[in-house]
Chains A and B, each alone.
Chain A
Amino acid sequence: MQKINVPWEIKRSLVVKAEEETDPRFGHKPDERPFPDFIKFGVINLDKPAGPSSHEVTAWVKRILSLKRAGHGGTLEA
């Protein structure tokens, strides 16, 4: 049987090319983004219920959170 690399089992590690400090005046660690950016740059790991389509579920999330935009990562057929 041919060996196939499972994408979520590939192990990588970081190698350093150069060193530098980051300036605390700009940006935020993703976990520490202040509101409302935390929502604007957020993703929900949603458990889709049976019945409604992926698009309907996404539209509901958009409405519940009163957002302008929401999108899902890969249609799961109804």
Chain B
Amino acid sequence: MTGILPTALEEATKVVQALLLTGKEYICVMKLHAQVSEDRIRAVLGEFHGAIYQRPPIRASVKRRLRTRKIYYLNFLETDGRNVLFKVGCEAGTYIRKLCYDVGEALGCGAHMQELRRTRVGPFVEDEGLVTLHDVSYMFAQWQETKDENLLRKFICPMEKSLELLPQIYIRDSAVGAVCHGAHLAAPGILSLDTKIKPNDAVAIFTQKGEAVALSKALESTEKILEMDHGIVAKTQRVLMPRGVYPKMWRSGL
């Protein structure tokens, strides 16, 4: 199986939890165990849109109990004999091998996953800066020789890229230090925020310079937050920025 595997370095490994929970897209070749008409394949694939039940396969890293997963889209692309090419956008934790098996059962003839390529992990897509292992080792060696930082920027992107699909909240310089120490975000610290935030949504907290400060859970909606002049707005769940980058601006109460 090939395709997008966002790899976080050093401090940035803290953002992988955001990537694990994000949606994925795959291109898949499914092998049918009998010849089936294209119309029928299209019709059956259509039934797998939306919320589906799925039991993780035998070789899985999670408990094998029936669970629901959302299929955002499942587009038939083409057939070649018994091979069916399709593209699927799905929730994190959807097993495509199992999806193929289940489509085969629904068709009545059986099917298995022949080939799989991941074409999206949240904000990471194929046509924006995708690099191979070979590129990584070549460019890193070039950088070591020339010390030209542009070479690094060609294959490494800032960890903030990983958070692009999350609702964003921008905060004052004076609030950054406290959040880095694990404090929850209070209303007065907020400068701007995204629309459509709902209570319990995962959100990303940024400085005005666009640096990620923390992954948090919103407690209120965008509309409510805009009206608030005090109180906690988002609970800090994972601090991403090291302490000390921004100064400590709060007074310690005794």
Contact = CB atoms under 8 A, between A and B. Distances in A.
A65 B8 CA distance: 12
Contacts of A2: 49-51
A76 B97 CA distance: 11
B23 A7 contact: yes
Contact of B7 (A1, A31, A61): A61
B2 interface: yes
Contacts of B6: 43-46, 72-74
5 residue pairs, one from A and one from B, having the closest CB atoms: A73-B19, A30-B158, A22-B208, A42-B156, A71-B13
Given A20-B172, A61-B133, A43 B123 contact: no
Contacts of A58: 5, 7
Contacts, number: 255
A15 B152 contact: no
Interface string B207-245: 111111000000000100110000000000000000001
Given A7-B165, A30-B211, A73-B18, 13 more contacts: A1-B50, A18-B172, A28-B209, A38-B153, A40-B9, A43-B15, A43-B157, A46-B130, A47-B131, A65-B140, A72-B6, A73-B16, A73-B122
Interface of B: 1-13, 15-16, 18-20, 22-24, 46, 49-51, 61, 70-73, 89, 92, 97, 116, 118, 120-124, 126, 128-133, 136-137, 140, 149, 152-153, 155-162, 165, 167-168, 170, 172-173, 176, 190-196, 207-212, 222, 225-226, 245-247
Interface in A2-30: 2, 4-8, 10, 12-23, 26-30
